[in-house]
Chains A and B, each alone.
Chain A
Amino acid sequence: MLRIRGLTIAYGGPPVLENVDLDVAEGEFVSLIGASGSGKTSVLRAVTTLLYPLGGTIDLAVPPTEVGFLFQEDALLPWRTTRENVSLGLRIRGMARPAAARTADEWLALLKLDGLGDRYPRQLSGGQRKRVALAQVLALEPRLLLMDEPFASLDAIVRVRITEELLGWVERKRLTVLLVTHDLEEAISLSDAVYVLSRGQRSTVQARRAVPIPRPRHVLDSRSDAAFGPLLQQLWQDLGEESPTQSAKDER
C-alpha cells in the first residue's frame, strides 16, 4: 500500500531524517515511534506532499484522494459548523451541499455527535472536536489512514474510548493505517508492526518489530497479552534507552 525507500528530509540544515525505509501492507496497522524531534511527523508530511523530501521515493498504491490525514491538532475551520466541517472534504470532491450535509450527519451519528451538527468548534469539548476531525477524515472513506499523534491532547479516559472506537472501525473496514506516536504502549496495543526511529539528527529506522497480539483487539486487553511486556522492553532498548524497570532493578 505504501512503500518508502531512502527517504531523506532536511529543513535547510543537516537532514533530520536520513535513508528511511518503511513498508505498510494493505490492511496493516503500522506505527512509527521515536523521540520528539526525530522527524516522525515529517514522514507523514512527505507522504501527503505537504513537504518535498531531499531524496528518496514514496510509492502509494492508492491515489492521493484515498489517503486520509488526521493531524495532531484538530484544525477545524472555526467559522464553519460541525456539519460543514465534516462535509468539507466531500464538497471539495464535488458532492452537492445537501448530499454532503446528509452524509456528514450520518458520520456525526456514527461518532456519537448526534445533535451537534449546528455547533461551532468553539462550543465543543476537546474530545468532541477530535471526533469531528475524525469524522471529517473518515467521511472521505480513505483506504490509507495517516495519523499524527491524534489523541495526544486528550485526557486518559476519553483517549481510551476514542482509540477503542477507532480500532474497531479500522478492524471492521480493514483500513490500512500508519500511526506516528511517541507512546510505546499505544503503538503496541494498536499495531501489527512498529518501526523505531533513532534519536537526534539524521534519524533513521532503527528496527522493525512485529506485534504478535491476535486480532480483533481491545485497547486495554492488549496490554495484558503475554507478548506485550517483552515487546515493550525491546522497544525501549531499540530507542537507545534503558528500560526504567531495568535500571531500577540494577540499582537495587
Chain B
Amino acid sequence: MTHGARRTVRRGLALIVLLGGWEWASRAGWMNPFYAPPPSAVAAVLVSLVGTDEIWMHLEATLAAASAGLLGGLALGIVLGFAAALLPVVAELLEPLMILLNAIPRVILAPLFVIWLGIGLASKVALALILVAVLIFFAVYSGIKEVDRRLVERVQTLGGGRRALVREVYIPSITAWVIGNLKIAVGFAFTGAVVGEFVASSRGLGYLLQFAQSTYNAALTLALIAIIMAFALALFALAERLERRLLRWRQV
C-alpha cells in the first residue's frame, strides 16, 4: 500500500470512529439529541430531503446563484484588473474602492442588495459576484503589474510587439494567478449565494437553513450543511482538475 493510500485509510477510519462515537454517545443519552442529533438521524433527514422534489428547487436556486456569481465575478474581475493595469486613470479610481471592498466583510452588502434588487435570484448573484470580483481583480491586477520583466524583454528582443507580449507573457501569467485563486473563488461564490438566501429569500439552501434554524431543527441544519459541503467539494475538485491541466508547467 502506498503512503497516500495508507493516509486515506487512516483518515477514513478516524471519520468512522468519530461518527460512531457520536452515534453511541447520543444513544447512550450522553448528548442531547435536540442539540446534537446522532448521525443516523441526520442521514434519515438527508434521505427524506433528497427523496422530495422540493429540495431540487432549492439546490437549483443556490447553484444558479453561485455559478452565475462565479462566472460574472471572474469576468468582471478580469476586465477591471486588465483595465486598471493598462490604464493608469482607471487604476487611480478603482484602487481605493477595491482596497476598501477588500478590507470589509463584503457580506454586509447583502441587505443593500436585497433592497435594491429584491428577494429573488438577482440579489444573491450580486453578492456572490462582488465577493468573487474583488478577489479576481487583485489577482489580475497584481498578476500584470508583477509580471516578470525579464520575460517581457526576452519577447521584445525576439521581435515581439504588444500582441506577442499579451499572448506569450501576460495571458499565461494572469491565467496562473486566476487559476491559483479559483478554489477560493468557488468558496466565495457559495458564501455569497447562501448568505444572500439567508438574509431574505423564498428558496435556496440558505433559505432552508434559515427555516431550519428558526424551527430549532438541528438535524435539518446538519443535513443542509452536509449537502452544501458536498457541492462545494465537488466544485473544488473540478477547479483542481482545471488547475492541474492549465498549470501543468508548474507541477511537472
Contacts and interface: CB of A to CB of B under 8 A. Distances in A.
Do A and B interact? yes
Interface of A: 48, 50, 64-65, 69, 71, 73, 75-80, 88-89, 92-93, 119-123, 136, 140
A50 B172 CA distance: 23
Contacts of A122: 249-250, 252
A121 B169 CA distance: 15
A64 B159 contact: yes
B249 A92 contact: no
A50 B158 contact: no
Interface in B163-196: 164, 168-169, 172, 176
A200 B198 CA distance: 68
Contacts, number: 55
B249 A93 contact: no
A88 B167 CA distance: 11
A129 to B, nearest CB: 13
Interface residues of B, number: 20
B97 interface: no
B169 A77 contact: yes
Given A92-B158, A93-B159, A122-B249, A77 B164 contact: no
B158 A89 contact: yes
| Residue from A69, A76, A77, A79 having most chain B Cβ neighbours under 10 A | A79
Contacts of A140: 158-159
B154 to A, nearest CB: 4
B45 interface: no
B155 interface: yes
Given A122-B249, A123-B252, A79 B176 contact: yes
B150 interface: yes
| Residue from A69, A75, A93, A119 having most chain B Cβ neighbours under 10 A | A75
Given A75-B153, A122-B250, A140-B158, 15 more contacts: A71-B150, A71-B154, A71-B157, A75-B148, A75-B150, A75-B151, A75-B154, A79-B176, A88-B155, A88-B160, A92-B155, A92-B158, A92-B159, A92-B160, A121-B249
A13 B138 CA distance: 34
Given A75-B151, A77-B151, A78-B249, A50 B159 contact: no
Contacts of A123: 252
A123 B150 CA distance: 20
Contact of A73 (B150, B158, B160, B250): B150
A120 B252 contact: yes
Contact of B249 (A64, A79, A89): A79
Contacts of A119: 252
B40 interface: no
27 contacts: A48-B157, A50-B156, A64-B159, A65-B159, A69-B157, A73-B150, A75-B148, A75-B151, A75-B153, A76-B154, A77-B151, A77-B154, A77-B168, A77-B169, A77-B172, A78-B249, A78-B250, A80-B249, A88-B168, A89-B159, A92-B158, A92-B159, A121-B249, A122-B249, A122-B252, A123-B252, A140-B159
